[in-house]
Amino acid sequence: MSRIDAQFAKLKASGRKAFVSYTMAGDPDYDTSLEILRGLPGAGVDIIELGLPFTDPMADGPTIQLAGQRALEAGMTLRRTLDLARTFREQDDATPIVLMGYYNPIYSYGVERFLTDAKDAGIDGLIVVDLPPEEDDELCIPAQAAGISFIRLATPTTDDARLPRVMQNTSGFVYYVSITGITGAAEAEAGDVAPEVARIKAAGDLPVVVGFGIRTPERARAIASVADGAVVGSAIVSRIAEGASVAEVLSFVRDLAGGAHSA
């Protein structure tokens, strides 16, 4: 059983929903990013999404775009991102880490080498937003053969004809994007999300977590109440961009996690 599967089984047994956090690797610098990363489990994070900095993040809004720029300017690379995860694993061998980003850096690094190094670093899953199911041979199938989950995005525009293709070869969980558009845009509405989550769950047996448009503990609770978990990214990254201390960032994360866990 993977760390992701084990975490969801543990949460289900305790009647709790998952809280998933997103931070950009190397934002605002390597050492601060590592300190935040190490503090996330203690702040209530069940699954860590770790952003892979990239120059052209097409699905991300200004907040995460700027985080990627800060990380790149601070010298962050794919190799250093894996080093960050590997160092985190020295103190935490249980919390799942999902690497989220784009295919270009992975392709440039070399898929086979990347999967070997990612597995060695303790990466449990991948979300690669610009690889559709038609390109599963590129990374999805090799990743799963290497023991790394490939997590697919479903969106409000994923219709019933498309959904089975999206679910095919997906593992770990399904990430439902609650709004159309980029990260950090509109707010997610539980009333809109609930029927979509039910539709996805009817198409497969994977947990469904919901992200985009969640900024407050109250919103995290509302969304988690209709899904298997909630993801918060831009709101956390905004605190880092504002220069909040590590303690302040983790306090904010703790409040968000408390919201999701109270659903």
Catalytic positions, please?
49, 60
Exposure b/e, 4-13, CB count within 10 A at least 16 = b: bbebbeebee
In angstroms, rounded to a whole number, what is the distance separating the alpha carbons of residues 162 and 179?
17
- Using an 8 Å Cβ cutoff, are 18 and 7 in contact? yes
Q: Amino acid identity of 69?
A: Q
- Using an 8 Å Cβ cutoff, are 47 and 7 in contact? yes
In angstroms, rounded to a whole number, what is the distance separating the alpha carbons of residues 158 and 218?
27
Tokens of 75: 């010298």
Phi, psi (rounded to 5 degrees) for 168? -65, 130
Which has the closest alpha carbon to 60: 101, 15, 99, 95?
A: 101
H helix runs in 122-227, sequence order: 140-145, 163-167, 190-202, 217-224
Containing 70, the helix (H) or strand (E) segment is helix 62-73
What three-state secondary structure class fits 97?
strand
